[in-house]
Amino acid sequence: MSWTPNAHAGLMEQAMTRKILKMAATPGLISLAGGMPAPESFPVDEIKAAVDRVLTDHSATALQYGVSDGYQPLREWVSADLAAKGADYPPDQILITNGSQQAISLASGILLEDGAKLAIETPTYLAAISTFRPSGCTFVDMPCDEDGPIPAELRRVRDARFAYIIPTFQNPAGRMISAQRRQAISETAHELGLPLFEDNPYGELYYDGEPPAPLASFDPENTIYGGSFSKVLSPGMRIGYVALPKKIYGDFLNLKSAVDVHTANLIQLIVYEVVKDGFLTTHLDKVRARYKVHRDAMDAALKKYMPADAVWETPAGGMFFWVTLPEGTDTGALLDTAVKAGVAFVPGEAFYAVDPPKNSLRLSFVTVSPEQIDAGVKILAELLR
């Protein structure tokens, strides 16, 4: 008798995620790898005050078991916030999760199984790939252009269980799908009977004007919407949510309660206490102003140092630049040398489920200072030459 992991348990991408987190914590290394909020953006005083109020006024609820759906006032807040963005999900279709990562995991558990097809963008979020993979699903690529998945091509993936899409400031490509394209994707998916999963942790981090309404605004009954407080408040609190079509809410709720009973009440109450009176409005203005400076610093550094054959689009929000280098470049092979030289990035190959090209890389601009961004991009560009 010996331990026998299931056939899909070789989670390559998770090894990369752990490496990214480790690199981010290495002293002296300029890490352009992790997608972590700047610690200076954490509203420590507001959270401290909220902890105090929650424990003074609501300790019986905060410290007790709760319902698997989540803390009702927080569900109502999320529902109202989504409605303000144009996506209609009543509070009883909102499930509070342990980060939006858990929304992905629940979708995998409920909707995927061995051999089921899952449509993804290429590239896509690496920790989603590794969350979906243990289901034994087959990944199928949605043909994309610079504006995201091509509606007419969705026919090719019509037999997928759902299409996983990050329409706003995509991780890793930084891409934002236009309003017209969102509508066309949503309408075509409806016609084809192809359900959608919109993952949107970055939508509030816009630097050149507000993004279009969510994909979910067009057809909420055909769209699962995953959201998060990680990038707007604190990822360590691990509070996310999933807004669900009525039909499948019960299935998600059952799996959520089987997995972890419910998300920590104490933290849900603290998040609610922080956000309930509109704190995020002023807070996010400050966060956006800070990150915009970082975004511009990275754009300037790339222009200043990168070889002429490197290609990138300046992202209008989010945390990432996606840089494509000439065919034949192997960014994976370059990583260890780069780390020794003092800079870390994520090789683009980590963001593909099958047949990864090797000539791209992802650079994050939010956690390190503009000076470090300049220094890091300079080192990287010298290695690429």
Ligand X SMILES: Cc1ncc(COP(=O)(O)O)c(C=O)c1O
Applying CB under 6 A, the residues found at the interface with ligand X are 35, 99-101, 125, 166, 171, 199, 201, 228, 230, 235, 240
* CB nearer ligand X, residue 205 or residue 298: 205
Name the minimum Å distance from CB 304 to ligand X.
28
* CB nearer ligand X, residue 172 or residue 195: 172
Angle in degrees, CA 69, 71, 72, rounded to 5 = 90
* CB nearer ligand X, residue 186 or residue 234: 234
Residue nearest to ligand X (CB): 99
Name the minimum Å distance from CB 49 to ligand X.
23
* CB nearer ligand X, residue 240 or residue 317: 240
Q: Are 262 and 239 in contact (CB under 8 A)?
A: no
Other beta carbons within 10 angstroms of residue 179's beta carbon come to 12
Q: How far apart are CA 81 and CA 89, in angstroms?
A: 10
| Residue where the block lists tokens 């220094």 | 375
Name the minimum Å distance from CB 227 to ligand X.
8
* CB nearer ligand X, residue 102 or residue 265: 102
Name the minimum Å distance from CB 165 to ligand X.
10
Name the minimum Å distance from CB 328 to ligand X.
29
Residue 138: exposure state from Cβ atoms within 10 A (0-12, 13-18, ≥19): middle
Name the minimum Å distance from CB 323 to ligand X.
18
Q: Where are the alpha helices (DSSP H) in the chain?
A: 12-24, 44-57, 59-62, 72-84, 99-111, 126-132, 179-192, 246-260, 265-275, 279-305, 331-341, 370-384
- DSSP collapsed to 3 states, 104-140: HHHHHHHHCCCCCEEEECCCCCHHHHHHHHHHCCEEE
* CB nearer ligand X, residue 220 or residue 318: 318
